[in-house]
Structure 1
Amino acid sequence: MTTTISNPPYNMKWKHPFFAMSQSRFSFGLPPENNANYAFIQTALDKNDKAVFLLPNGVLTTSDKEEGAIRQALVENNYLEAVIQLPDKMFESTSIPTSLLIFNKHKATANIVMVDARPLAKQVERQQRGQVGGSAHTKRVYKKQINILDNDAIDQIMSLLDSPEDKEGMSKVVSIDQVKNNDFVIQPTRYISIKQEKADSSNNLKLICEDLQKISQEEAAVKLTINKKMAQDLGILGLCELLNMSADANKEINEAYKNVPDVNIDLNTDHIVTLTNNKVFKIEVKKWDKLPDIIHAFAIMWAQMSKQYNDQENVALMRLKAIMLDKYFGN
């Protein structure tokens, strides 16, 4: 059984080859020209029985019609064996969140193993030397904090792949029907149950508040003013509206908890996206009939990071609610 292991260029633009639909590798569909992620996957599976890909989390939830159809076909044909959601900030050059997707055309079961490896991450400091910018940079050593998975974490993940099981807060074995009921979204956190915290821990309450503050600050670090039609064309209009709704909800959360003992929350309430009918992005776009490649690349990465912050914020709020309910209304 042959295997491909690949970490291809992320979200790369490509050109459809001549007679693409007649090629066996595109039997599940032709990926869009603005993103080759699923082209890499299908090409590997056309030549090999197994494939392991390290790709950005956008492939797990993309709403692009062509990509969604391919993802659905891969699941329905029982090619997807496991998805491992990795911690962010694992690369020294970018903080983009990624996942490992494991494909197997000859699986023994019709299940998919979903693993969330983020709780296993450990932070380490790495030193790196500047690569460009003259001697002032190339002779300078930078220190950077990154996340890693140590040998123990890797052993835990491998154990779950070898002997799949449901583990609260970490893994879930799901059926094709379960994925179908979730619109073929293959993000592990959509299926894995949240591990409940002990409600009598004041330290947990403090940490949750700190998490919320940190996430809120990170989420508000980037503010966009964007033409509504452009946002729609880039596929981020729904996320823009969701983030603004989240900012409105933060006002209610701040008000609800402002007089609660032991809770120190001051979440961002400013809209981080302004949708306008004017031809405006955060940077000036001169060529309006065809958006520059950098805009497409930035929009994809920003959407992935913002959705991750929003998901983390929701999880932290659920943990906060559970603790508060038990603290004031529990036995």
Structure 2
Amino acid sequence: MSIVISNPPYNMKWQHPFFAQSQSRFDLGLPPENNANFAFVLSALDHSEKATFILPNAVLYTSNKDEFIVKKNLVDKNYLEAVISLPGNMFESTSIPTCILVFNKRKSHSYTQVIDLKGKETKEIRDQRGQYGKTNTNRVYKKELNVLSNDVIKEVLSVIESRKNEVGFTKSVSINDIKEQEYDLNPGKYIDTESVDNIHRPYEDIIKDLNRIIESKNGVKITINEKMAKDLEIYDLMQDFKQSKELNKNMNEMLKAVNPNLKIKKEDIAALSRNKEMKFEVKNFERVPEMIALFISMWKQFVMTLNNEENRLLVELRDALLPDLISGDIDVSQNEYDAKEDK
């Protein structure tokens, strides 16, 4: 039996081969040309009984119709054995959230094990080597990464085999369960949580994760002509940034009543222009190889992935704040937001 283990390049463009529809690897659907994530998966499963992929979280809840068809058929064919949501900041070159998809074409049951490893990670400091700007000066700097211990890895393998359920960690779900969630593979949709009144992660931890995502997004700023943005199909995304800025401002106003030292970083990632221009402003040289290499279409996919993670964290923060606001434990009526700080 052949087995594939792969961490392919994320969100890569590719071209449909001639007569793609007649190739057996695309019997479950033809992935879009602007994203080869599922093309890698289907190509592996065409030659192997089992495959394990590390992919960006966007594959779990993609809204692209062609990707959705592939994902739906993989579930309906009972090929998906496990979905593992990984902690962020696990890679040296990128901090985007990722997941592991485990496929098995010869399962003896019709369940998929969903696992959430957030909170199971440990911290590790590693030396990083790189160059600064256009100089050839080598430099060494420290970077904190999240890693999974051998014990955690053994636990994951055990729950996949035993198909156990554990509150807040894992659950065995049926194909019908996934259908009811419209094929959304985010483990958080299925894993049971303890029913406890207003228990949430510390605000400091939520803000730290949120700011980490924003820092990654702010690594490179793009300024682009409005018409060009529409032609490249990123105009709506640029508009989303405006709403995100306003939401961050409102969240910061509420956070002042919780702790004046807590603050969500400002986003400065994109700007629309009526001039005939498109320019990239590099603001974090440690992110240059990652962001520039992705360029326009991959930049779009990269930022959309971060947006999804940011939105999840903002919802988590909102849900944490609302009960305290309703109960009166947080009083924002006396707080005056200093708009100058956001100019």
TM over 0.5: yes
Residue 219 of structure 1 is matched in structure 2 by 214
| 111 and 14 in structure 1: CA distance in 2 versus 1, 3 angstrom threshold | same
Instruction: Pick which of 246-255 and 39-48 moved more.
Output: 246-255
The percentage of counterpart residues that share the same residue type is 40
Deviation of residue 66 (structure 1)? 1.4
Residue 75 (str. 1) matches residue 106 (str. 2): no
Note the alpha carbon deviations across 1:277-313, whole angstroms, 9 max, x for none. Answer: 77665539xxxxxxx9711111111111221122122
Query: Is this contact kept in 1: 2:222–2:280, CA < 8 A?
Result: no
Partner amino acid, structure 1, of 2:150: N
Query: Is this contact kept in 2: 1:199–1:327, CA < 8 A?
Result: no
1: CA distance between counterparts of 2:99 and 2:249? 33
| 283 and 143 in structure 1: CA distance in 2 versus 1, 3 angstrom threshold | closer
Residue 187 of structure 1 is matched in structure 2 by 186
Structure 1: give runs of 5+ residues left out of the alignment. 285-291
Where does 1:1-331 land on structure 2 (aligned, <5 Å)?
1-130=1-130, 136-137=137-138, 140-194=139-193, 207-209=202-204, 211-212=206-207, 215-216=210-211, 218-219=213-214, 222=218, 244-256=242-254, 258-259=256-257, 265-267=262-264, 283=280, 294-321=295-322
| 179 and 230 in structure 1: CA distance in 2 versus 1, 3 angstrom threshold | farther
1: CA distance between counterparts of 2:223 and 2:323? 36
Partner amino acid, structure 2, of 1:72: K
2: CA distance between counterparts of 1:240 and 1:61? 21
Query: Is this contact kept in 1: 2:214–2:267, CA < 8 A?
Result: no
2: CA distance between counterparts of 1:192 and 1:232? 39
2: CA distance between counterparts of 1:297 and 1:154? 31
2: CA distance between counterparts of 1:167 and 1:325? 32
Query: Is this contact kept in 2: 1:209–1:264, CA < 8 A?
Result: no
1: CA distance between counterparts of 2:188 and 2:113? 12
Note the alpha carbon deviations across 1:28-71, whole angstroms, 9 max, x for none. Answer: 12222222211111111111111111112222222222111111
Note the alpha carbon deviations across 1:163-185, whole angstroms, 9 max, x for none. Answer: 22332322232222232233322
CA-atom RMSD in angstroms: 3.6
| 224 and 177 in structure 1: CA distance in 2 versus 1, 3 angstrom threshold | farther
2: CA distance between counterparts of 1:53 and 1:161? 15
2: CA distance between counterparts of 1:180 and 1:283? 42
Secondary structure of the structure 2 residue equivalent to 1:130: strand
Instruction: Pick which of 126-135 and 171-180 moved more.
Output: 126-135
Query: Is this contact kept in 1: 2:168–2:191, CA < 8 A?
Result: yes
User: Matched residue pairs, number?
Assistant: 315
| 187 and 47 in structure 1: CA distance in 2 versus 1, 3 angstrom threshold | same
1: CA distance between counterparts of 2:21 and 2:273? 39
Query: Is this contact kept in 2: 1:113–1:172, CA < 8 A?
Result: yes
